[in-house]
Structure 1
Amino acid sequence: MRTVITFLLAFSLTGTVHAQQPSSSLASLVTHLEQQEGPLPELPRKEAKRTLPQLRQRYQRGLQAGTTCYLTANVLNESATPEPLVVEVAAWQAGQVTGRIVRLSPEGRTIAGALVTFEETVILDWLLLRPNGTEEGNYVGKYLDLEERLAALSIK
């Protein structure tokens, strides 16, 4: 099953994905991270790290109006334990990122929470959401979604 996931992930990483609504993939990513036990998968993290310098340059030049940049990063939680969280980027300068932690409301909508600052070195993944609902990046989220769909297929 891992081989199939790897092949499908490699195939799906090459293009832009159309989300059903602008925050559906973001909400899915936040949900996956909250439920994730153990480390995040290595293959999508490697691709995210490989493409991160281009994202940084694009962010610093200025993104298209209405496009939002999110990063998944190992941020220290209240008990000083690293935890993978999604952060809506507010500033990204000199290797430091500042943004708001994204959580899900009880209704399942994404909401921006506490402000956090962290080093670029703890970034695990990235996601650009455009106003028309298309996304770019989200390698970990796509991988986890695919893994979940394949697991559901094998149960039937």
Structure 2
Amino acid sequence: MRTVLTFLLAFSLSGPLLAQQPTSTLATLVTQLEQLQGPLPEVPRKEAKRTLPQLRQRYQRGLPVGTICYLTVNTLNESATPEPLVVEVATWQAGKLTGRIMRLSHEEGRAMAGAPVSFEETAILDWLLLRPNGAEEGNYVGKYLDLEERLATLSNK
């Protein structure tokens, strides 16, 4: 079973994925992180860390028009407990980033920008690039959580 999971994970993480609509990918990721119990899975975080330097270079050279960079970052919440959040990146310079925290609008079912936040690059756990046509890159943690959910659904049938 672990071999099958590894193969499916490798298959699902390779190449860009075309989503139904950009906001649904983002809303799904925000929801997954809100509902997550325990730490983020290690395997997709390692891949995100490995590919982060290329993302940084691409971001600093300038992303294509309409492409938005989101990061999953580890921040402290009001209780000083570490919490993974999705942030839409506004600036990324010399290892320091600013952006807006993405929250789920429960009335509309889509992710919306909220409070501003700043953090160090070391807080990054994962990354996601969304293009206007719905294509995505990265989102290793989100894809992994999707795959786990699908496999759990299959095993319960």
For the aligned pair, the TM-score class normalised by the smaller chain equals: over 0.9
1:3, distance to aligned residue in structure 2 (A): 3.4
Q: Report the CA distance between 1:24 and its aligned residue.
A: 1.3
What is the CA RMSD across the aligned residues, in angstroms? 0.9
The answer on whether the counterparts of 1:30 and 1:85 sit within 8 Å (CA) in structure 2 is yes
Q: Deviation string for 1:54-83 (max 9, x for gaps)?
A: 000000010000000000010111122210
2:59 pairs with 1:59 = yes
The CA deviation string for residues 116-151 of structure 1, in whole angstroms up to 9 with x for no partner, is 001100110000000011000000000000100111
Give runs of aligned pairs for residues 30-69 of structure 1, distance below 5 A.
30-69=30-69
Question: Are the equivalent residues in 2 in contact too, given 1:16–1:135 (CA < 8 A)?
Answer: yes
Q: What secondary structure does 1:101 align onto?
A: strand
Instruction: Work out whether 1:79 is the aligned partner of 2:53.
Output: no
CA distance in 2, matches of 1:68, 1:83: 22
Query: What residue number does 1:149 align with?
Result: 150
Please tell me whether residue 112 in structure 1 is matched to residue 113 in structure 2.
yes
Cα contact 1:5–1:143 (8 A) shared by 2: no
TM value normalised by structure 1: 0.97
Residues 16-74 of structure 1, C-alpha deviations (whole Å, 9 max, x = no match): 10001111111111111001111111110000000000000000010000000000010
- Mapped to 1, the partners of 2:72 and 2:104 lie a distance apart of 15
Gaps of 5+ in 2: none
Runs of 4+ in 1 over 3 A off after TM superposition: none
Query: In structure 1, what residue type is equivalent to 2:156?
Result: I
2:50 and 2:79 map into 1 onto residues whose CA distance is: 31
Q: Aligned residue for 2:124?
A: 123
Name the SS of the counterpart of 2:60 in structure 1.
helix
In the alignment of these two chains, the number of paired residues is 156
Question: What displacement does 1:7 show?
Answer: 1.6
In 2, Cα distance between the equivalents of 1:124 and 1:4?
25
The answer (yes or no) to whether the contact 1:71–1:89 under 8 Å persists in 2 is yes
User: TM-score normalised to the size of structure 2?
Assistant: 0.96
Which residue identity does 2:71 align to in structure 1?
L
Identity of aligned residues (%): 81
